[in-house]
Amino acid sequence: MRRKTVNPFYTHIRASRAEMLFFLNFSTSAFLLKKTVYIFIALTLVLASCTGSKKFFKVAERLELQGLVGDAAEYYYQSLLRKPTNVDARIKLKDVGQKYTSSLASEFFRNYNTQQLEASLESYEKMKSFNSKAADLNVQLDYPKTYDDDYLNAVEQYNSKNYQQATLLVGQKKYNEAVGYINKVKRYNASYRDLPNLEIIAVCEPLYQNAVRNIENKNYAGAYTSLISIKNKTDNYKDSQQLLELADAQQSKNVILFQPKTSSNFSEKEIEESLFNNFQAAQKQLNHVNLINNTPFHQNANKTIDLSNSNNVDVMQAIRKATGADYFYLYDVKDVRQNPSGEKRTPHNGFQKENYKEKDGTMAVRYRTFDYNSVQAQNVFSYTYKYQIVNAYSNQIIEGRDQYITAKDAVDYNEFSSPNLIQKLFGKANPSGNDISSLFPYNPQSTGIVNQYNPSAWRAKFKENGARTTLKSFPELQGEAISQTIHLFINSNKNLK
């Protein structure tokens, strides 16, 4: 038999046809995908360029032509929302919105009858939400009212199904999974059956177990965190309250506060004693820190303990054992200063606006000068506060600082150069605000517009206009300085571990 030969030319033609068909199919798919992308981009650009009623209406028309009834209904709604008098948008919302409502109603009916409860609830709620929005714009949409009863039945079945699943998971100790099902029920009925108690178990039990493990491992801080989370949920889960008290007590640190030895400087002694009393009062603001009364030790300790002297380790350890202290807090106050600057007066010229009558009877304005003083004064109270926090077990200084504490007050006001000037300027001893408003720090007639400014702040600086002229006293400033030091004490102690 003669063997049939294949012409390579025809083989090439057949291969080329296959490649061409593949290319055409691929090109068609790419074209359709590209067209869809272009449509999406075009719609996005249209909405980004303008948010008017007409633009939303045009987008809605395009979506409707593509058969996207739900999206079209939403855009017709947006169009009418932006312009309630848009008749075309109202007609379209009624027409397309009804189609959308009917579609969602059918979807609900189908899902409900096939026991797809979550999908049926979603369809119904979406339908009701859209109907409510349309009704707010006086567009009434209809759906079978029997579906309201079906919806309630679906909710009951949905809750029952998820509640049973949550109960099963809690019984299997799969608490995190159970919380998801509990939240589904809570969406519709937070008090469903025994759901509140079931939720407490699902949330608190893993926290409780974690707290117990941490206490067994002496990780009291970790246990405390878990137990606080339980407390935020309920106050009476098992013995969590007792465990919380235990964890709190175990991680609390005892700090013995050494009052400085008696100082010969009265100011230093007064501040040191005030700080000692305030430090103890500030204990309520400290986290897990208990301040110990150091009465038996504070006088002798400060005379004999030198933290740089290693020979005092035995003394420190003896105090630790006697007091149960975890840390020692030592402090001192030095260089108390009260610095009054005294009043500094700087003379200036001001200008008063005056209305007068010209010879021809017309009214004119002129500015006459007057003398006033700019007065400045300042009181400064300060001291150096030195403190150290010492680990009672290792005798190591874990924090120490020399902190400059300062409190100051300043006044800056204007006063007329003499009491007689007030009478001369205003015709009375006590000028009112209206009188002061006639004064200027510059002559508006001879000062360029660029150099003029609103003089209200300058006028407010006159003591005759109510400006503050009295400095805070040094006892007041001392109180502010002590408050700063108490804040420093709290911040340095509240995170001791």
Per DSSP, the residues of 174-199 read -HHHHHHHHHHHHTT-TTSTTHHHHH
Residue type, 395: N
Q: How many CB atoms lie within 10 A of CB 152?
A: 10
pLDDT band for 296, please (50, 70, 90 cuts): low
pLDDT of residue 9: 38
Q: Which long-range contacts (CB under 8 A, 24 or more apart) does 473-478 make?
A: 473/379, 474/338, 474/379, 474/381, 476/409, 477/379, 477/380, 477/381, 477/407, 477/408, 477/409, 478/271, 478/381, 478/407
Model confidence at 497: pLDDT above 80: no
pLDDT at 362 over 60: yes
Helix (H) or strand (E) holding 329: strand 327-340
pLDDT at 22 over 70: no
Confidence of residue 377 (pLDDT cuts 50, 70, 90): very high
Predicted pLDDT of residue 44: 53
CATH 3.40.1340 fits 8-157, yes or no: no
Domains of the chain by residue range = 8-157, 172-251, 252-497
Q: What value does the mean pLDDT take over residues 466-486?
A: 95
Asked if residue 50 has pLDDT above 60, the reply is no
Terminal Cα-to-Cα distance of the chain (whole angstroms):
100
| Per-residue CA distances from 174 to 159, 177, 229 (Å) | 19, 6, 19
C-alpha 408/C-alpha 488 separation (Å) is 18
Structure tokens given for 74: 């939403």
Q: Pick 495 or 439 by higher pLDDT.
A: 439
Distance CA 474, CA 46 (A): 69
Highest mean pLDDT pick, 186-190, 251-255, 263-267: 186-190
pLDDT at 312: 66
Residue 393 one-letter amino acid: Y
User: What per-residue confidence (pLDDT) applies to 11?
Assistant: 40
Residue 69's pLDDT band (cuts 50, 70, 90):
very high
pLDDT of amino acid 393? 87
pLDDT (mean) for 42-65: 75
Is the model's pTM score more than 0.75? Answer: no
**For the purposes of burial, counting CB atoms within 10 Å of the CB of 146, is it exposed (0-12), middle (13-18) or buried (19 or more)?**
exposed
